[in-house]
Structure 1
């Protein structure tokens, strides 16, 4: 399976010079499933490479690309990339996305009722490159970038919550701003880490001076840690905590969403919506020796709220679940994953490629 879908663009150059990293272009048909999209069908690709002159001290750069059409009549084009220059002097990372997305909405706040369910359709263009330079210590980077997030051709249900309450930017918005970022990334593998830390902090300012339709700021962090707990089977214990906080005239589509295929699995994405989000999860990743197969078990908790003073540990909602893994590339540890997540009163299946975090 690996050889069938994997191509080597610089294979001849590597045959002449064994110090060059053998780049890989992994191309395959993609079948995915999540409660937000139903089944999705399309093409996925990952370009794994190093710049000439990079050795073992430089980790493999990852440029994924996917296009899918779903049974919910959505199309999704996405790339989330992380590129290391020679000797990791710079990291270039970010997201590019173009999609039309029917989304279910239940009302604002952590106590919205499921009976309020309505559909909200929109198109989205997202471009977010960040350029980070190595500073002070190995694995520590600092830099800046910009973020452009355009929501257009929106369609809301007549006399529904959105049509009645009309929150800021419900009928479309343009977020254009500059971001400052700090990154610490000591993971040994970007696609499926066995050890190391990852911490990213970004602070973005969006203003009409930059072309934004609303004036607000957005703060985000993502903290992860990976522990190799079994030398025999390379079993991994993985931790993640994320936060997302917005202030000002925050447009509707920049509010924080509770639930996704990556964190708080078991809740539909956007089941609860508010200005801020705090969430965490722990995952045990089991690898069966001399096999491409693996399994995971995970548990997590999180909440959305309007202000820091509203956050209470007693209000946390929990999730748990398990899943299976099939490794399509042993060298890069790239997995196909199938997860079954359970929330409070809900459970969903997720099928995709690469780990949740």
Structure 2
């Protein structure tokens, strides 16, 4: 058994021991970090949703970052006038610094207006993120690993209107992605390959988006479908450094397979394809904590990507603890028409869960994933998908 696996199992035992002894104090601890902005208004009008602002110290781990420490905040709310037909809006924010001398400020938000007439979603990211580089393609060598550093600022708001169906939203937005202050190894692999935009780039594009989202719970879905399709057109006329187009698809389905314990089977397909004068920052990066766990993020890189995963989430009645098993496959391609089943790279793994907010169904997540000749563990809050 590898040292990394021993380390992850030890961490799991520590967390399990702590939570089993102190489970009765978790709610008290959560309340200490929770603020209720409209508490007085709710006391006067019980039809209002009790908004929550949760801010607390956070710790995470991924092979790409090592341990990360910082502050996490989450604002859960509904606009006044919204009833049960409107799902809870989620505006998270994370600021962390890692033992690999990285920092990142990130928010991936999803806001529902009254009666869900509109959905406002998107991403906000600012980071100094040293990344590992192995070359471009699906057959790069692990021994070629080298590090390059850069700063990144990304903003991507998308506005979608409910049309034709209760859970169907159609709209548009824009995406700005700037890579700057890059540092590479002199005479290294990336300096030799010199992919487009390796020394910095700015992508500015208009996006068309379609969203179908019938999940009853946004933080940890237990049923329903989620399909998001975006197609972006990027051009120098808009202020970018390259002209290209980028298409992304994210499909998820959740099945409640055990009514007694609320066991969930989750299915996930993710894909990205692009054409044109693509900067390196917009390539598809294979691996990470959300899909293809077990591979370091960016272990394989190319223009197009396809990946899928299946996860069984085992819950125990009247307990905060849960177990997960997952399996998946995927690959990167210069052109997606090169796809072949026999060349798919596999991954699989197991994980443990601890509920830190039973009402909102929010979990602490510890996973150990295996890929082809690689593995890694992940510690974070909320599910992989």
Matched with 1:13 is 41
Deviation at 1:5, TM superposition (A): 2.1
- Superposed CA offset, 1:162-206 (max 9, x none): 101211100000000100000000000000011000000000000
Deviation at 1:11, TM superposition (A): 1.0
Matched with 1:28 is 56
* Secondary structure of 1:153's aligned partner: strand
Deviation at 1:92, TM superposition (A): 0.1
1:207 aligns with 2:235: yes
Matched with 1:118 is 146
TM-score (norm 1): 0.99
Which residues in structure 2 correspond to 1:26-175 (within 5 Å)? Answer: 26-175=54-203
Structure 1: runs of 5+ lacking an equivalent: none
Query: Counterparts of 2:34 and 2:309 in 1: how far apart (Å)?
Result: 32
Query: Counterparts of 1:106 and 1:165 in 2: how far apart (Å)?
Result: 11
Query: Counterparts of 2:360 and 2:133 in 1: how far apart (Å)?
Result: 38
TM-score (norm 2): 0.92
More helix by share: 2
* Secondary structure of 2:260's aligned partner: coil
Matched with 1:237 is 265
Matched with 1:256 is 284
Query: Counterparts of 1:309 and 1:239 in 2: how far apart (Å)?
Result: 23
CA contact (8 A) 2:305 2:336 kept: no
* Secondary structure of 2:253's aligned partner: strand
Which residues in structure 2 correspond to 1:221-236 (within 5 Å)? Answer: 221-236=249-264
- Superposed CA offset, 1:207-227 (max 9, x none): 001011000000000000000
Which consecutive aligned stretches of 4+ in structure 1 deviate over 2 angstroms post-superposition?
none
* Secondary structure of 2:50's aligned partner: coil
Deviation at 1:150, TM superposition (A): 0.1
Structure 2: runs of 5+ lacking an equivalent: 1-28
Moved more, 246-255 or 307-316: 307-316
RMSD over aligned CA atoms reads 0.6
Deviation at 1:308, TM superposition (A): 2.5
Query: Counterparts of 1:312 and 1:141 in 2: how far apart (Å)?
Result: 33
More strand by share: 1
Q: How many pairs does the alignment contain?
A: 357
1:337 aligns with 2:365: yes
CA contact (8 A) 2:273 2:336 kept: no
Query: Counterparts of 1:185 and 1:46 in 2: how far apart (Å)?
Result: 21
Deviation at 1:293, TM superposition (A): 1.1
